[in-house]
Amino acid sequence: MKVAIQYGATLVDSDGHVAGHDAGATLVRRLLRVFPGAELIGPGPRHGAGFDVIPLEFVDGATTVVINMDVINSLSTWQILKANCDEPSLMNFVWWNTSQYTHPFQRAALALSCALFPTFANSERTATEVREIVSSWTIQPLAEKARIAWVNLGIRLEHVQARQEPAIPVVLYPAIYLSERKQPQLFLDVVERLVKRTPIRVEARLHESHLISEQAMRLSRRDWAWVGPLTASREDYWEALARTTAFLATADEESYGLEYIEALVAGAVGVFPDRPWVRAILPAGYPFIYDTPAEAEAMLYRAVTDTAACRSELDKAADGSFTEWLRARHDDDRFEKAIADQVTEWFEA
């Protein structure tokens, strides 16, 4: 069986590479690496750098497993594949937070999709949410037959670079969007109070669609802040993380938390809200989890003024080395093996 990857937001640049550093583009590149010879579903046929782009109408669903990242559209994808074969091979990849779908029609469509097609989730938390949606929004015979698997996405550990401690502590806004779910105003409120107490430099690397937002403009006017576009390459991205002192997470919901884990592995001290998604990715005794903005400020102050001691506390929470604890649980080698094995199991590929 061949593999084809479907993600409608994928952009292939003039050199034939999948463009962008957002989570979706990163995962498309990762899947292309996991499945050598895989095709990318797109609007028109063309050759990419090591892969072919092919319209969905040209895919033979009898000999090709379609991994659909646009899960809510799987029913229409199946109908198109069905025109060319009797039993299309289609699976879902849920790599985002299910709470983004709030309308009853969207929730029902997501539930039906995950009940009808094998579904692979990016974390145990996401898999649990999918099971709950399927159980709540579909009939019992479908829910009982739902096939749902998961593994943590993990990160490319070989990309991690040696630490470069900055002269002035760098505090990172750990997201590329200023959407409401990320609670950017809370981040801004805390760092604006913190900068009155101690010198810091705030950095925010944002998706181009959010660079021109009012909040981005307001932050960029501060002489202690830098707001700019996403880094040009993954090497530049990891170089920037290597000189990041700390970050303040403020998101209400995350399906996994890839950006946070990357920053932690790079050596930044993370300050997190007390949320279920946070508890799912960190050791039980992680010391920098806050309930109130005042607590967030106090923890972030310690992270930038007594960084070495904070890192020692992280090691203690992990019963040894916090970095090694993260590496053991968030290595993308586990993801690559798990999704490849699951495709084989589900489709006898």
Q: Would you state the pLDDT for residue 261?
A: 93
Share of the chain above pLDDT 70, in %: 100
* pLDDT tens track for 117-160: 999 999 999 999 999 999 999 999 999 999 999 999 888 888 88
- Rounded to 5 degrees, φ, ψ at 109 are -65, -40
What is the average pLDDT across 260-273? Answer: 96
CATH code for the part of the protein at 157-329: 3.40.50.2000
Query: pLDDT tier at 182 (50, 70, 90 boundaries)?
Result: very high
Superfamily of domain 2-154+332-347: Glycogen Phosphorylase B; (3.40.50.2000)
Structure confidence at residue 212 as a pLDDT band (50, 70, 90): confident
The DSSP symbol for 318 reads T
Domains of the chain, residue spans:
2-154+332-347, 157-329
pTM of the predicted structure, to 2 decimals: 0.84
Q: Which residues lie across from 94 on neighbouring strands?
A: 121
Q: What is the mean pLDDT of residues 47-60?
A: 95
Identify the band that residue 45 occupies on the pLDDT scale cut at 50, 70 and 90: very high
Mean pLDDT of the region 274-295: 96
Q: What is the pLDDT of residues 11-28, one digit of tens each?
A: 999 999 998 878 899 899
Under a CB-based contact definition with an 8 Å cutoff, are residues 9 and 24 in contact? yes
Using an 8 Å Cβ cutoff, are 66 and 120 in contact?
no
Band (pLDDT 50/70/90 cuts) for residue 51 is: very high
Residue 71: pLDDT band with limits 50, 70, 90: very high
pLDDT of residue 233: 81
What single letter denotes the amino acid at residue 123?
S
- The Cα–Cα gap between 278 and 174 comes to 14
CB atoms within 10 A of CB 249: 28
Report the distance separating Cα 195 and Cα 224, nearest Å. 8
Mapping DSSP onto H, E and C, the string for 193-204 reads HHCCCCCCEEEE
User: pLDDT (tens digit, 9 = 90+) per residue, 231-257?
Assistant: 878 889 999 999 999 999 999 999 888
- Residue 226: C-alpha distances to residues 148, 261, 296 (Å): 42, 22, 21
pLDDT averaged over every residue in the chain: 94
Is the pLDDT reported for residue 349 higher than 70?
no
Q: What is the mean pLDDT of residues 175-194?
A: 94
**Per-residue pLDDT at 103 exceeds 90:** yes
Q: Which residues pair with 206 in a beta bridge?
A: 229
